[in-house]
Chain A
Amino acid sequence: YRHLHTFELQAPTRLIEWARGSRVCVAGYGQSDGNEILQLIPPPTLLTKETQGLCPERDFKVECGGFSERPVYSLKYVPDTSLLVTSGPPDSSLQVWQVSAEDSDVIKSVSPIATENGTGQSWAKIATISARAPWVLHGSRLDGVQITEVESRKNIYTAASGGSEELSSLAFLDCNTLLLCCATGRLCLADIRQPQSLVEAVSVPSAPCSEQWCMGTRHGAQGLEPSSQPVARLSSRGLLTLTDLRKTSEFLALATVRVPSPGSGAEFLCISWAPALEGCLAISGFDGTVHVYDTQSWDSSGREAEPVFVHKGHAFGGAGGSGDPPLVTVHTWHLQKPRTLLSAASDGSLHVWDWVQPCGKC
């Protein structure tokens, strides 16, 4: 490691989102009500480019917070507005919140966005964009994907139904193109200008036992066409596929990663691309570790890949031997510092770490 900072949140989080002004947002997902949404100001060590070891301030500060009655499973800021959207069980409706950090430190709840046939479905996955207007893309199943304009609550677009599988994540590739990933691994592209068509990307190899999939898309690289960035998919059995969206008929690369117990719950499966490092991605959700891989040397053979770095901190933290070992719930990359990541685990720990490439490459 170059640097490692460990923090303890009062309640564990399963999301870490970046907000304007380098703020970071986390939220509780407990079953009882009284979950908190916290917008944090990271310590100056994380904000400055030059890292100093013993900085005056090493702590996160809670800038503002809100109280949510339901567990918060997903949270996205709506760009260019002071709003954020959350979702969580028991249904697929969305909650909207107002953040006004200068006036008060309370995140206020604004009226929710209900969805028809909302009850009985699991929680919605969300993505936001502010191209023509602030929009939120949401849905919990492939046949219930829609775009709602945040301020007016108007429905802008409803995707054609391609089946009723559960979604694991969705994203805006650009202001007209959507990417939908199902839990079965199916990846679909949709163009909102053509509401009736859903283009399907190459499926994943079918497996004897059921497995769950999630995807990671790359943002942030300046000037690059979003669709030129490969989409990565990770399965709960440890299979990783990379797909180039311009050539969806075949895999760009295929690899397997070593996982402790195949099929051990896909609740917290998470995969993400490094915004500032070419070809690097990180995965977590199998145990108390986060793995970083360099995909530049991968091919389509499906061979086992060796991680470039493994963060084990969460497995060691906390009181020894009390209950289950902590599970990493989410991780995210720092937007500017190339090798800095933030990761959170089920014991409430939050780590900020900066790894050193052992062999000097990357």
Chain B
Amino acid sequence: MPEIKVTPLGAGQDVGRSCILVSIAGKNVMLDCGMHMGYNDDRRFPDFSYITQNGRLTDFLDCVIISHFHLDHCGALPYFSEMVGYDGPIYMTHPTKAICPILLEDYRKITVDKKGETNFFTSQMIKDCMKKVVAVHLHQTVQVDEELEIKAYYAGHVLGAAMFQIKVGCESVVYTGDYNMTPDRHLGAAWIDKCRPDLLISESTYATTIRDSKRCRERDFLKKVHETVERGGKVLIPVFALGRAQELCILLETFWERMNLKAPIYFSTGLTEKANHYYKLFITWTNQKIRKTFVQRNMFEFKHIKAFDRAFADNPGPMVVFATPGMLHAGQSLQIFRKWAGNEKNMVIMPGYCVQGTVGHKILSGQRKLEMEGRQILEVKMQVEYMSFSAHADAKGIMQLIRQAEPRNVLLVHGEAKKMEFLKQKIEQEFHVSCFMPANGETTTILTNPCIPVDISLGLLKRETAIGPLPDAKKPKLMHGTLLMKDNSFRLVSPEQALKELGLAEHQLRFTCRVHIQDPRKEHETVLRVYNHLKGILKDYSVQHLPDGSITVESILIQATAHSEDQGTKVLLVSWTYQDEELGSYLTSLLKKGLPQST
């Protein structure tokens, strides 16, 4: 039975370090290669030993596909390709290829330089890894080899995020990565055509959430920022570099313009500046509205937002600053935080998830006295707020995507199994497809029913369509013929033509059965009795008594002879060809029942 095998190496039933292995029609593909931000040891990488026990990775895997630049989807890539060892192709979209190395380098710097870890990839490794990357465009079919092809679709979520279709012959899998079905200020919504894959692998992080409307979230965010700035305080917004920072920049810029506010807004140099540069470069990846207004004015060139200088942090008066990194674990945002923490007029707004152990996580948990380097205690008097703007699909979005793609099976990753039973039933009921939720290391096998295209000979087609009523265009029609498999081609021809082509002679099968009948009269009288009996019963069939003393029923021959040893017994020879098997068996059992007394 043809099948597709899926094994999550990460993100099986938890969030973080997405990495999924797919085996389809003999090809092996790795989807994403993420890092778990919550661990500091080897647990942060997916467990590659599952694959490496089969030999070299490069031989085993046909390709690796990365959906977007978030570290929980690409963070383990240099480790995988340079430290574990993989030299095959790595596919990702152009923006992802451009932005990935920056994020990887930044994370490397913090892990190695600040935290002093040793078992980590180096800058050179990141460069070497990126050399193996092949960038793809949206909706472009890329031939990985003769049989395997992939195609990227727009996923929303962050710049350059894509959903990938992996196809071998007529079996296909679609992997969504992280996606979003509602457009936001700077990105459009995910979209896919009715590609009817055998399997759709979808993330389900927010499947059980009913989200507060974006308008309310934004309104509250702006209210907080406004209030702080009005009373002369400073607002620090640590950002993850790319993604939400742009969204918030646009939001603030629009608000500042509308309310005619004068307080300065800064974004720190480094990552965020490069990010704006990339957004301008990949303007086609942003949403319609931005592309339209781009002609009049570049949405990412802000009037009210300026580049930050370290010295500005000491300036008196209100201001808003976007600084990296996002969890306040090091760098500029931490520096600014230390300067401003002591003043209760100030505010810090955390716009995303913070990993345990970082300053960001500590202050969100309520800690107000932090121990810094050199045993210094920092008292946090500034207001701490949290605002989540991440864009993932909720249950409604997942259903929408399934409706668009029409897969035959669905597999969910990134969720908690216990809470997914309802969603599983919902999907199964609404779409009549099977839904799977494997854990890490657990292999799910999905049976596919591939259609094999076969050429049919014209003669056979004409003959088959002549029999019976005209077929319904939408219903499958059963046809009889002989399948010839030669040199990788399939042809359906009539049996006669097959025999001719193969130079074979047709065999005729003939069955003969002996039925004993008690009858002391002469043979020809027995024959007459049998003839009258059959003629009476088989009214719809042609029963004939031939001059040579035999009876035919259609093309079945019945002859009577006397039994060699017993004159009172007659032996009826019933003989038929393979084509008349049914009637032959029926006749035999009928005759075995005996003849009626009167004749």
Contacts and interface: CB of A to CB of B under 8 A. Distances in A.
Please determine whether chains A and B interact with each other in the same assembly.
yes
Interface of A: 4-10, 34, 36, 40, 43, 53-56, 58-65, 67, 104-106, 350
Given A34-B430, A53-B223, A7 B212 contact: yes
A54 B210 contact: no
A10 B398 CA distance: 12
In the A-B complex, the 9 residue pairs with the smallest Cβ-Cβ separation, listed nearest first, are A60-B210, A58-B212, A6-B213, A65-B422, A54-B385, A62-B208, A105-B422, A59-B209, A10-B396
Interface of B is mostly: helix
Contacts of B208: 61-63, 105
A53 B210 contact: no
Interface size class of B (residues with CB under 8 A): 20 to 34
B147 interface: no
B212 A104 contact: no
B422 A64 contact: yes
A90 B466 CA distance: 50
Contacts of B35: none
A61 B210 contact: yes
Contact of A54 (B349, B421, B425, B429): B349
A43 B212 contact: yes
A65 B399 CA distance: 16
Given A53-B223, A58-B216, A67-B429, 18 more contacts: A7-B210, A10-B396, A34-B429, A34-B430, A58-B217, A59-B210, A59-B211, A60-B209, A61-B208, A61-B209, A61-B210, A62-B208, A62-B210, A65-B422, A67-B426, A105-B208, A105-B418, A106-B422
B210 A9 contact: yes
A36 B215 contact: no
A331 B4 CA distance: 49
A55 B216 CA distance: 12
A189 B442 CA distance: 62
Interface string B117-149: 000000000000000000000000000000000
A292 to B, nearest CB: 20
Interface of A is mostly: strand
Nearest to A57: B388
B212 A59 contact: yes
A20 to B, nearest CB: 19
B221 interface: yes
B364 interface: yes
Contacts of B430: 34
A59 B210 CA distance: 6
Contacts of A65: 422, 426
A54 B209 CA distance: 17
A6 B212 CA distance: 6
A54 B228 CA distance: 14
A201 to B, nearest CB: 40
Given A55-B386, A59-B210, A6 B215 contact: yes
Contact of B387 (A36, A54, A105): A54
Given A6-B215, A10-B396, A34-B430, A106 B209 contact: no
A8 B429 contact: no
Contacts of A5: 212-213, 216
A6 B421 contact: no
Given A65-B422, A106-B425, A7 B349 contact: no
A58 B206 CA distance: 13
Contacts of B223: 53
A116 B197 CA distance: 50
Contacts of B257: none
B220 interface: yes
A36 B215 CA distance: 26
Given A104-B421, A106-B421, A62 B209 contact: yes
B463 interface: no
Contacts of B419: 105
